[in-house]
Each structure stands twice: as structure tokens, then as C-alpha cells.
């Protein structure tokens, strides 16, 4: 609350407003065009500037109009709307901020240029998104991963259903959000958590909006990939309605209300090929008759040759149904001029269903021959034999978000303002998967010998094209023959429940002064977060061939779609035998859902509680350095974090034998509770120098922190026993212990410096550049940490491999460029053309080591066992990110093309302690068009991912193709009515 007040108090000191929400320059297809457009726009800036900045600089400082004159063109009676208005408002927000900020702001409901908040944010300078199911989800700032960013909703933390701290922005419709700010530099009153930056979402305050609005928007969606699904329609829809009004209550003051609701029913079918998430270092000098012979870290580091092979590969066809409902509401009451009361509420519910059909080679390390691999140890060609599975998987997910809070601001005196805020945020996600596996066998379902006469099918693995791995079977095997999947029936019910709850309260006070120091803000905050993950698996196997035959014949289905992987290069597998999964459950078990197991305890369950106490003091100043106006803030934030993590491990009995002891699992569980705590001080300084009425220089220095994801802090432990029947002691009987998480992880800390120069020649234009530097205290590395376990009444200290903060120093330095301009120097109607470009370059030497094949450290001795594959960088780190936007607005017509680019990056799995995964570069093009028929009715058309950019991932080294997804393009057409 404090920073909104200080900005209002300092508005009279701000010069010309503007904004830098430009599009990035990407480095490939848009580079040459972007450079030409940049040069053209610089020329237009000079031509468009209508006020002599030297003359304007002599205007009286007492006149706000004089201060903003340099940024205005001579068209004061024109009401600017649409995309141009959004750009102007966003530039104005950036111009007046104390910190280094980029924004996306609109004065009208529903005018943010995107379907979701994620897609809107990725049009802001330095922001880019991670794509899932063809849409923008998690956001990375300045090329750094989403876990290094903090997101607040009306100044509060928001819960998450994935187990990390990154907000799924798809749950918030852009039509119901009024503004977005990204704080690139920190200030003391911001909630901690943003090493890369802080994303702040703001809902509408109805009294500040100041007018009545009733709006309804309906969009139809056409998805070409959905059209390929047999028996499914290609159309979905999205409807949004909002209402804003204000009421004069007489002696009770003023009351404002804002309500918004949305129904989204847009399906996202998917085609994909994926290898397993575990890769092995195989010895090419031996021909194993079973799985390949592995080499150790020590052997690989000593020079033994090896190649990287996955344990399985899968082709997946997926049909989905996705329905989302969202509601946002706010109530603003000003009983008098001194009190401002705000209540807000957000709710979203998602009902999601996936009907998956997988064709899986379950043993791709088995009997490998003719192996070819490159100098990065990537297996690019091999022949082998593998069991082949036809797996049906029916997944349903119910996800519910509930958030809101109440804030009160009281102007106690002319100088003292006191505010308080209480909030609650909760996400519940319940995912139920029912799957049935059928496997190949020497005999088919009719007990006749198959052409291969073997459970395992010969195949060829070919990744020499560097993009899409191609799998081809022995031509004697027909993957479309249902009768060949005749054995090893396994039914699994997997129910995963996640809950993330945050309760928070804060109290702030601000006191205004005369002179250099304009204001002091102090405040405190408490938050309590609890993350729970419960997994329950019920598994049934059966080997009655007569039952197999009956169910197999009763539940056969045609392959669900046409043109499977048509867009992938040279893929020979385009269909296979599929079955109705729920029919199989009924046939084998007599019910579609056997229900939850009697015991919901599991090693991979998590129960993490995090309590945070924080306080800050911040001073805001406004003065002159010689003849140069200077304004900004300085302060410090103090943060205490206390963590408790409860997990489970398998129960073990100690059994005496003649030569010592042995361990036996007792089908029970033992509880493991681990704690952690840390204190951090986060100082910050922001200084803004008004070099001229149109030029601002900004300097920022600050310390920032980003905590590990809650799922990374799980305390579950899986124990693998040594082979053998007698051991001298308990420790010798344990082979290894696998950690589900690392509760001892500390936050990523960084010292940061930013230097920005911004030019605001007119209200449509900004040219800005920022250089920044971040120094980290260390990266993440696998370590062997001794943990104490009570087994058979004895406390035993056993080393557990898990991730830990390393002592290695690392840094990031980067450059961020922004250019936004309307070509007002062109003759009408071409003066409606405009462009926005943005580009971010980041260079980092941060290191994340592979949990299986990377460096591992013994923290007690400091001894490093070298890894055999390269380390990854920061999770989510991209060296190059950028976007380019070209728009045209003439009367009621608005056209927009947006191109976004993100270079490759490492993306860890939720839960951590997994192998390295890399995402290849993305190139996305979105198109939008709107036409205002009149002031009440507008028509809109949008096209997303128009060139069907595929998402490709690699493991565990870059270029080792692990997975590629195709989602297809999406098209929307609709109308909006305003009253």
C-alpha cells in the first residue's frame, strides 16, 4: 500500500510519462527486419517530436502541465483507445515509477492484448514464457527461470497447484485484470522472492475507475488439431462478462463494485513422442544380452567411453476436455476522505480430462547393437529389442483456486498514513489416473504364435536428424494388431492430491516530510504456507489368458485421430492398437474406479510448512543534485524463514542371522521430520536522475532472494537394500537412499546492480536500455549428506544423495533494450502504424549438476567426485529472449502481429532431485485484429501459434532428443458488447 501512496505524492515531480512495454528483437528470423525497423523508428521519433525540449525545460516546475508537455503531441482533443492507449498508459506507468519497472496497463476493462495473463506478460520487455499445451504458463524474467521471480496478486503471494512458486497465469483471464507491473529492481516494501524480478497483478478498483461499465464478450475457438480427433468437434468457446459501478451513499461515503466472470471451454489435443526421464551411461565396449552395462562416474571421468540411453520411449496420442470457470470481484468503500477500504476475491475452477493412448518401448536399453554416438555421448543410432506396451490412460483433474483479502488505508493525519492487509490463497489439485498396460508376447490373444515369436520386438532407433527421433519396427510386427498385445495386464489407479495454502497479514505506516526526505515507510509481514502432496497408488495384475482375451476383444477402439505426427519429419509410426481404458477397468475389475487404497501413506508424500516473518523500513527522497532533479528510495528488508518438512520412509526390521544381521521390509512406514531456518537482510537503493525533461537515468543496487520450491523440500526417503543375506551392521546392509527432496536447501541469494537510461520524446515513444549484474553465492550440486535414521531401535547415520547449495560463486550480467514508437510522422492513414521491439541478453556461469551423472560432493570432506556430463545453467535461463510487435490502428480498426523468441534453457522437474532437461528455442507468432463497429460493439479475431511451433526437449545433455510436442494453432473469433 505504501508505494502506491508515495507514487501519488510524487506525481507532480515526474516529467513526461511513457512506457516501455515493447517487443523484443529476436535473434533469428526477426533480427534483420528488427534492425531496419529500429533505424526507421529512430527517424520517426525525431520527426514526431513536436516540442523543443530546451524550451520546455525552462517551464515552471509548479505546473504539472508544463512538466508533461514535452511528451505530448498537438492533438489534445483526440480520445486515444485500443492498443495505442494501452501503450501510452504503460509508458506513463514506467515513467513515474521509483524503481526500474516495465508495465502493461489499460484504462479500459478487457483491453489487455491477450487471451491470458501469461500471454499478456510475455509482451512486456524482458519477460518470456514457458509453453505448455500451446499456451503461456510460467514466466521467466530477463532470461532467468520462473523460480527466480516472485508473483503477487494485489500485492500478495498466490498459491500454486504444481508444487513450485511459479504462478500458472492461465488461471487468470486477462479480461479481468487491469494492470501488470514487473519490478526489475527491488525496493524494501516489495515481498521478498524476486532475484529476477517481481510480477505484480492488479485488479480493478471500482471507485478509481470512476464510471459505470457493463461488458459482455463471447469468442468461438477453432482448433485444427481437435478437428483431427474422430467423433470430436473442432470448436470451443470462451465467454466473459463484467460489471463496474459506483454509488453515492450520502453520509456513508462512496461505494464501488466490480464483478467479472468467465467460462472457458477450449480443448488442447496433443501429439508427442517422449523418452523416459532417466538416462543411463552405457558401455559401448560390451554387448549386453540384457540391459546395457553401465559405467560409473569414476570410470567415465577416467576416460571410459560411454553413450547415453533412455530406459524407454513412448508415442502418445491425447484427446482432452478442458473447462475453466473464473470469477473476480472487488468492493471499494470510502466512508470519508481519510479511509479507503478494499475487499477482493478471486476464484477459478478447472475440470480437465485427458484420454491418452501410449505405444511404449519399455526396454530401450535391452540388447543394444550397432550403436552410434557423437562426441557429446548422445546416442544417435542403435538397434535393439524391447517389449512393446499398449497403454491406455484416462486422467481427470479438478483444480480449484480461491484467493482474496481485505485492506484498509487510514489517513490518520495530513502526514501519517496507516494501512493493513489480510489475505488468504489456496489451490487444491486432485489428479486421478487410471491406466491399463498390455504387453507383447510370443503368443497372441488367441494363443497363436506371433510372427516374431518373442515377447521382445526388434526395432531401430534413429536420431541422426537431430530433431525428432524416429522409431521403426521389424516389418513383421504390426503395431495396429490388437491381438498382439496379449500379456502382462496391469491396472493402476494413481490418485495424487496437492494442496497449497497461504495465509498472510501485513501492517504498514508511512509518514511524509518536507525537504530531501519526503516519506518514511515501515512495515511488517507474517505469512504461513503449507504444501501437501499425497499419492495413493492401487495396482492390480492378472494372468488369466481367457479374461485377457475377453476384455481385449470387448474394449478395442479405432485409433482416435487422423494424421498423427503428420508435422513431425519422417516418422514411421502413425497409429497403433488402442483400447477403451474405462471399458478395460470394467472388464477386469467390474468397476470403472476401484477406489482409493486402504493406506494413503507413501514415500513420495510431502508435508512442508513454511513460516516467514519480515519487516522493512524505506525512505523516499526527492531533491536536486546540482541542477539535476533526483528522486528514489532506499531501505532494508529483514526476513526470517522457518521450515518444517515431514516425510516417510519404508519401515525395516533388523533380523539376526548367523553372520550378523539383515534388513527386511515390514510393509510399514517410519516418519522423518527435518527442519531448516535462515535469516536474510535485503538492502536496496533506487535513484532516478532527470537529466532533461525527456531523459531519465536510473541506478539501482539491491540484494534479493528466491526460495526453493515447496516440492523441492520434501523429506521422503526411499531405501534400497544391498544384495546379500548377512551384514556386520545396519549401515552396511543399506545400498543407497534416494531423497524425494532436500529440506536443507537454502534460498538463492544475489547482489544486484542495474543502470538504465530512458528517453521519452513523446507519449507514444520510449527508447531505453538497461545493463544489470547479479552475483550469486552458489549453485546447486548433488551432495552426500549424512542423515540419521532410527532402524530397529538404533540410530544409524547414512549418506543420502540430494541437491544442496554449493560454495561455487556465479554471476549473471545482461543487457535489456526497448524501443516503442508510433510512426506519427507518416501521412494519414499510415500514421496509425507502430512498432515495439525488445531484447534481453543474459550471460551466466551458474551450475546445476545432474543428480545421476554430474559432479557429487561429500560436504564432510569436500571431496568432489567428477561428473561425466556437463552441468546445466540456472533453471529457466535463456541467453537470448526477445519480441517484436507491429501494430496498426486506424479509426475503429486495430491490427497486431507479435513474434516472441526464447533461446534454449534448462528446466528442472517439479520436485527436484532429477536429471537435467533442456528446452530448445521457441519461435511463436500470434496475430490479432479488432474492429469497433461503434462505441458499444467490437469484433475480434485472434490466431495463436500460427506456424505450429513445436516444443522440443532434450535429456540429459543438450541435443539429445527426449521429447517433442505438437499442439497446433488456435483461432478465435468473437464480439464484445459494452453498455
* Residues 51-61, mean pLDDT to the nearest whole number: 35
Give the model's confidence band at 933: pLDDT under 50 very low, under 70 low, under 90 confident, else very high: very high
CB atoms within 10 A of CB 811: 14
Q: Does the pLDDT of residue 271 top 90, yes or no?
A: no
pLDDT at 733: 84
For position 239, what pLDDT does the model report? 92
Per-residue pLDDT band for 704 (boundaries 50, 70, 90) equals very high
> How large a percentage of the chain has pLDDT more than 90?
51
Q: Does residue 972 surpass a pLDDT of 60?
A: yes
Residue 910 has pLDDT above 80, yes or no: no
* Summary mean pLDDT of the chain: 85
pLDDT at position 781 over 80? no
pLDDT average, residue stretch 435-442: 96
In angstroms, the CA 419 to CA 439 distance is: 64
**Per-residue pLDDT tens digits for 644-659:** 999 988 888 888 888 7
422 bridge partner residues: 406, 505
Average pLDDT of the segment spanning 274-289: 89
- What dihedral do alpha carbons 450, 455, 457, 463 form, nearest 10°? 160
pLDDT at 805: 76
The Cα-based distances of 888 to 81, 764, 765, 928, 938 in angstroms read 12, 13, 15, 11, 16
pLDDT for 362: 95
What is the pLDDT at residue 73?
Answer: 43
Neighbouring C-beta atoms of residue 773, cutoff 10 Å? 15
User: What is the C-alpha separation between 74 and 78, in angstroms, rounded?
Assistant: 9
- Does pLDDT of 53 surpass 50? no
Cα–Cα dist 922/882, whole Å? 11
DSSP string, 426-453: EEEEEEEEEEEEEEE-SB-TTS-B-SS-
Largest alpha-carbon pair distance within the chain? 99
What percentage of the chain carries pLDDT values higher than 70?
88
What's the Cα-to-Cα distance from 531 to each of 180, 608, 674, 715, rounded to whole Å? 27, 5, 15, 12
- Pull the grid cell for residue 387: 517389449
| pLDDT for position 180 | 85
Cα(511)–Cα(641) distance, integer angstroms: 29
SS3 784: strand
pLDDT at residue 114 greater than cutoff 50: yes
Beta strands 766-776 and 810-822 are: antiparallel
Q: Where are the alpha helices (DSSP H) in 913-956?
A: none
Q: Would you state the cell numbers that stand for residue 187, as one nine-digit string?
A: 525496493
Tell me the CA distances in angstroms from 36 to 399, 819, 867, 883, one per residue in order: 47, 13, 46, 15
Confidence at residue 773, expressed as pLDDT on a 0 to 100 scale: 95
Highest mean pLDDT among 132-141, 222-231, 469-478: 469-478
Average pLDDT over residues 87-110: 82
Query: Which carries the bigger pLDDT value, residue 553 or residue 178?
Result: 553
Among 550, 434, 559, CA closest to 486: 550
pLDDT above 50 for 377 = yes
- The Cα 949–Cα 921 span in angstroms is 10
For position 292, what pLDDT does the model report?
92
CA distances to 250, 540, 775, 805, 955 from 858, rounded to whole Å, are 72, 41, 25, 12, 25
The cell for 502 is 497461504
What is the bridge-based pairing of β-strands 918-919 and 905-906?
antiparallel
What is the tens place of the pLDDT at every residue in 555-585? 999 999 998 988 887 778 999 999 999 999 9
**Helices 545-554 + 581-589 axis angle, to 10:** 140
Nearest to 307 by CA among 274, 284, 278, 276: 284
Closest CA to 497 of 600, 434, 428, 396: 428
Instruction: Summarize the chain as % helix, strand, coil (round to 5).
Output: 10, 55, 35
In the predicted model, is pLDDT for residue 542 greater than 80? yes
How far CA 354 is from CA of 319, 575, 619, in Å, comes to: 6, 18, 53
Residue 752 has pLDDT above 90, yes or no: yes
How far apart are the C-alpha atoms of 435 and 360, rounded to whole Å? 13
Bridge partners for 929 per DSSP: 895, 941
Instruction: List the grid coordinates of 745.
Output: 536447501
Phi and psi at residue 118, to the nearest 5°: -60, -45
Integer Cα distance of 104 and 91 in angstroms: 8
Q: Which residues contact 541 (CB under 8 A, 6 or more apart)?
A: 488, 489, 490, 491
Give, for 259, the enclosing helix (H) or strand (E): strand 254-265
* Residue 495 confidence class, pLDDT cut points 50, 70, 90: very high
Q: How many CB atoms lie within 10 A of CB 668?
A: 12
Q: Is the pLDDT of residue 349 over 90?
A: yes
Cα separation, 456 vs 441, whole angstroms: 7
**437 falls in which pLDDT band (50, 70, 90)?**
very high
The pLDDT of residue 111 is above 80:
no
Three-class SS state of 582: helix
Mean pLDDT of 56-67: 35
Lowest mean pLDDT, pick from 420-424, 502-506, 614-618, 832-836: 832-836
Does residue 952 contact residue 919 with C-beta atoms inside 8 Å? yes
Confidence of residue 33 (pLDDT cuts 50, 70, 90): very low
The Cα 107–Cα 91 span in angstroms is 13
Handedness of CA 109, 115, 116, 118 (dihedral sign): negative
Which residue has better confidence, 561 or 114? 561
- In angstroms, the CA 436 to CA 493 distance is 9
Residue 329 · residue 302 · CB < 8 Å? no
What are the CA-CA distances from residue 412 to residues 197, 408, 409, 418 (Å)? 33, 12, 9, 7
- Per the CB < 8 A criterion, the answer to whether 101 and 184 are in contact is yes
Q: Are strands 937-944 and 922-932 parallel, antiparallel or unpaired?
A: antiparallel
Q: What is the mean pLDDT of residues 928-944?
A: 91
pLDDT of residue 113: 60
Q: What is the pLDDT of residue 379?
A: 95
Q: What is the mean pLDDT of residues 59-70?
A: 36
How many helices (DSSP H) and strands (DSSP E) are in the chain?
A: 12, 47
C-alpha torsion sign, points 899, 905, 909, 915: positive
Which residue's C-alpha cell is 528488508? Answer: 637
Residue 328 pLDDT greater than 60, yes or no: yes
Q: What are phi and psi of 406, to 5 degrees?
A: -135, 135
Given this model, what pLDDT does residue 449 score?
A: 96
**pLDDT for the residue 46:** 42
Q: Is 69 helix (H, G, I), strand (E, B) or coil?
A: helix
Q: Is the pLDDT of residue 37 over 50?
A: no
Cβ–Cβ under 8 Å, residues 776 and 806: no
Mean pLDDT check: name the lowest of 67-81, 90-104, 192-206, 363-377: 67-81
| Mean pLDDT calculated for residue range 21-45 | 38
In order of 402, 603, 714, the CA distances from 719 in angstroms are 38, 10, 15
Under the banding of pLDDT at 50, 70 and 90, the label for residue 8 is very low
Point out the least confidently predicted range of 16-25, 261-270, 816-825, 954-963: 16-25
Would you tell me how many other CB atoms lie within 10 Å of the CB of residue 283? 18
Least confident of 761-765, 813-817, 861-865: 861-865
If phi over 0 gives left and psi between -120 and 50 gives alpha, with beta otherwise, what is residue 570?
left
Q: Is the pLDDT of residue 90 over 90?
A: no
Q: How many Å from the N-terminal Cα to the C-terminal Cα in the chain?
A: 32
The structure's pTM equals 0.83
H helix runs in 122-223, sequence order: 206-209
Provide the β-strand partners of residue 650: 669
Task: Give me the pLDDT at residue 863, please.
Answer: 81
165-169, 192-196, 302-306, 666-670 — most confident range: 302-306
Q: Burial of 894 by CB count in 10 Å (0-12 exposed, 13-18 middle, 19+ buried)?
A: buried
Residues contacting residue 366 through CB under 8 Å, at least 6 positions apart: 290, 291, 292, 384, 385, 386, 456
- Residue 213 and residue 204 in contact, taking contact as beta carbons nearer than 8 Å: no
Instruction: With beta carbons less than 8 A apart as the criterion, state whether 524 and 506 touch.
Output: yes
Residues 6+ apart with CB under 8 A from 676: 642, 643, 645, 713, 743, 744, 745, 746
**Dist CA 19 CA 499 (whole Å):** 38
Dump pLDDT digits (tens) for 847-878. Answer: 888 888 988 877 667 788 889 999 998 888 89
Alpha helix stretches (DSSP H) within 625-670: none
Least confident of 455-459, 660-664, 789-793, 802-806: 802-806
Q: How confident is the model at residue 83 (pLDDT cuts 50, 70, 90)?
A: confident
Q: Cell 470430436 belongs to which residue?
A: 232
Query: What span, in angstroms and rounded, lies between the C-alpha atoms of 718 and 741?
Result: 11
Distance from CA of residue 118 to its chain's centroid?
Answer: 9
Amino acid at each position: 500500500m505504501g508505494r502506491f501512496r508515495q507514487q501519488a505524492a510524487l506525481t507532480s515531480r515526474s516529467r513526461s510519462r511513457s512506457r516501455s512495454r515493447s517487443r523484443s528483437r529476436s535473434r533469428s528470423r526477426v533480427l534483420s527486419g528488427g534492425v531496419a525497423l529500429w533505424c526507421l523508428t529512430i527517424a520517426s521519433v525525431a520527426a514526431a517530436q513536436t516540442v523543443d525540449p530546451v524550451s520546455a525545460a525552462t517551464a515552471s516546475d509548479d505546473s504539472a502541465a508544463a512538466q508533461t508537455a514535452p511528451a505530448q503531441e498537438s492533438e489534445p482533443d483526440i480520445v486515444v483507445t485500443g492498443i495505442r492507449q494501452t501503450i501510452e498508459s504503460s509508458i506513463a506507468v514506467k515513467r513515474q515509477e521509483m524503481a526500474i519497472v516495465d508495465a502493461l496497463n489499460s484504462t479500459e476493462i478487457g483491453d489487455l492484448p491477450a487471451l491470458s495473463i501469461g500471454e499478456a506478460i510475455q509482451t512486456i520487455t524482458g519477460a518470456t514464457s514457458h509453453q505448455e499445451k500451446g499456451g503461456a504458463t510460467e514466466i521467466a524474467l530477463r532470461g532467468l527461470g520462473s523460480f527466480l521471480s516472485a508473483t503477487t496478486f494485489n500485492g500478495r503471494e498466490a498459491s500454486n497447484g504444481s508444487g513450485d512458486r511459479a504462478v500458472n497465469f492461465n488461471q487468470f483471464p486477462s479480461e479481468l485484470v487491469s494492470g501488470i507491473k514487473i519490478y526489475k529492481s527491488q525496493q524494501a516494501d516489495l515481498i521478498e522472492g524476486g532475484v529476477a524480478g517481481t510480477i505484480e497483478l492488479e485488479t480493478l478498483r471500482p471507485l478509481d475507475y470512476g464510471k459505470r461499465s457493463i461488458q459482455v464478450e463471447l469468442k468461438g475457438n477453432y482448433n485444427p488439431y481437435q478437428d483431427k480427433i474422430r467423433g470430436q468437434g473442432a470448436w470451443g468457446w470462451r465467454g466473459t462478462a463484467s460489471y463496474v459501478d459506483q454509488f453515492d451513499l450520502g453520509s456513508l461515503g462512496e461505494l464501488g463494485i466490480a464483478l467479472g466472470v468467465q467460462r472457458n471451454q477450449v480443448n488442447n489435443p496433443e501429439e508427442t513422442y517422449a523418452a523416459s526421464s532417466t538416462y543411463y551411461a552405457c558401455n559401448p565396449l560390451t554387448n549386453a544380452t540384457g540391459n546395457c552395462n553401465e559405467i560409473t562416474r569414476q570410470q567415465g571421468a577416467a576416460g571410459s567411453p560411454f553413450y547415453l540411453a533412455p530406459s524407454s520411449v513412448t508415442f502418445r496420442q491425447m484427446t482432452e476436455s478442458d473447462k475453466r470457470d473464473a470469477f473476480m470481484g472487488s468492493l471499494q468503500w470510502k466512508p470519508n476522505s481519510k479511509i479507503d477500504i478494499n475487499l477482493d476475491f478471486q476464484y477459478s475452477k478447472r475440470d480437465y480430462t485427458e484420454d491418452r493412448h501410449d505405444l511404449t518401448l519399455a526396454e530401450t536399453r535391452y540388447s543394444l547393437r550397432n550403436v552410434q554416438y557423437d562426441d557429446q555421448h548422445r546416442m544417435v543410432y542403435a538397434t535393439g529389442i524391447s517389449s512393446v506396451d499398449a497403454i491406455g490412460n484416462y486422467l481427470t483433474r479438478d483444480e480449484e483456486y480461491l484467493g482474496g483479502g481485505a485492506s484498509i488505508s487510514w489517513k490518520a493525519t495530513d502526514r501519517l498514513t496507516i494501512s493493513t492487509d489480510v489475505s488468504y490463497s489456496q489451490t487444491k489439485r486432485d489428479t486421478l489416473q487410471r491406466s491399463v498396460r498390455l504387453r507383447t508376447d510370443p503368443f497372441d490373444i488367441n494363443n497363436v504364435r506371433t510372427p516374431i515369436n518373442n515377447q521382445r520386438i526388434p526395432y531401430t532407433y534413429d536420431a541422426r536428424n537431430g530433431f525428432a527421433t524416429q522409431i521403426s519396427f521389424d516389418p513383421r510386427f504390426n503395431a495396429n494388431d490388437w491381438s498382439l498385445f496379449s500379456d502382462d495386464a496391469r491396472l493402476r489407479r494413481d490418485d495424487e492430491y496437492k494442496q497449497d495454502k497461504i495465509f498472510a497479514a501485513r501492517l504498514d505506516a508511512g509518514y511524509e516530510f518536507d525537504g530531501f526526505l519526503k516519506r518514511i515507510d515501515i512495515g511488517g509481514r507474517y505469512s504461513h504456507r503449507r504444501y501437501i502432496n499425497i499419492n495413493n497408488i492401487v495396482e492390480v495384475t492378472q494372468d488369466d489368458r481367457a479374461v485377457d482375451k475377453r476384455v481385449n476383444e470387448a474394449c478395442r477402439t479405432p485409433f482416435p485421430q487422423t494424421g498423427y505426427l503428420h508435422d513431425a519429419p519422417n516418422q514411421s509410426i502413425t497409429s497403433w492398437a488402442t483400447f477403451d481404458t474405462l471399458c478395460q477397468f470394467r472388464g477386469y475389475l467390474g468397476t470403472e474406479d476401484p477406489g482409493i487404497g486402504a493406506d494413503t501413506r507413501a514415500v513420495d508424500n510431502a508435508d512442508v510448512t513454511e513460516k516467514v516473518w519480515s519487516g522493512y523500513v524505506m525512505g523516499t527522497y526527492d531533491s536536486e543534485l546540482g541542477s539535476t532533479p533526483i528522486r528514489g528510495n532506499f531501505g532494508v528488508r529483514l526476513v526470517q524463514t522457518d521450515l518444517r518438512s515431514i516425510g516417510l520412509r519404508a519401515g525395516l526390521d533388523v533380523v539376526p542371522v548367523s553372520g550378523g544381521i539383515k534388513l527386511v521390509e515390514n510393509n510399514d512406514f517410519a516418519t522423518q521430520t527435518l527442519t531448516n531456518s535462515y535469516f536474510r537482510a535485503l538492502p536496496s537503493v533506487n535513484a532516478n536522475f532527470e537529466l532533461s525533461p525527456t531523459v531519465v537515468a536510473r541506478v539501482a543496487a539491491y540484494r534479493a532472494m528466491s526460495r526453493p520450491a515447496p516440492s523441492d523440500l520434501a523429506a521422503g526417503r526411499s531405501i534400497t537394500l544391498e544384495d546379500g543375506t548377512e551384514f556386520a551392521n545396519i549401515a552396511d546392509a543399506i545400498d543407497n537412499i534416494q531423497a524425494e527432496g532436500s529440506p536443507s536447501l537454502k534460498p538463492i541469494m544475489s547482489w544486484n546492480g542495474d543502470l538504465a537510461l530512458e528517453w521519452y520524446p513523446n507519449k507514444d515513444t520510449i527508447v531505453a536500455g538497461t545493463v544489470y549484474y547479479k552475483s550469486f553465492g552458489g549453485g546447486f550440486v548433488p551432495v552426500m549428506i549424512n542423515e540419521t535414521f532410527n532402524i530397529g531401535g538404533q540410530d544409524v547415520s547414512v549418506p543420502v544423495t540430494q541437491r544442496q547449495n554449493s560454495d561455487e560463486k556465479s554471476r549473471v550480467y545482461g543487457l535489456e533494450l526497448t524501443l516503442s514508437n508510433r510512426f506519427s510522422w507518416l501521412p494519414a492513414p499510415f500514421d496509425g502504424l507502430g512498432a515495439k521491439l525488445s531484447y534481453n541478453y543474459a550471460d551466466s556461469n551458474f551450475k546445476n549438476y545432474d543428480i545421476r551423472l554430474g559432479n557429487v560432493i561429500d560436504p564432510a570432506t569436500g571431496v568432489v567426485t567428477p561428473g561425466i556430463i556437463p552441468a546445466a545453467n540456472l533453471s529457466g535461463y535463456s541467453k537470448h529472449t526477445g519480441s517484436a510487435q507491429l501494430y496498426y490502428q486506424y479509426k475503429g480498426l486495430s491490427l497486431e502481429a507479435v513474434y516472441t523468441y526464447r533461446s534454449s534453457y534448462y528446466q528442472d522437474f517439479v520436485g527436484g532431485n532429477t536429471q537435467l532437461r533442456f528446452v530448445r528455442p521457441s519461435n511463436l507468432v500470434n496475430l490479432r485484429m479488432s474492429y469497433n463497429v461503434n462505441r458499444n460493439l467490437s469484433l475480434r479475431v485472434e490466431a495463436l501459434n500460427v506456424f505450429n511451433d513445436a516444443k522440443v526437449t532434450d535429456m540429459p545433455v543438450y541435443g539429445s532428443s527426449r521429447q517433442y510436442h505438437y499442439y497446433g494453432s488456435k483461432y478465435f473469433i468473437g464480439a464484445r458488447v459494452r453498455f
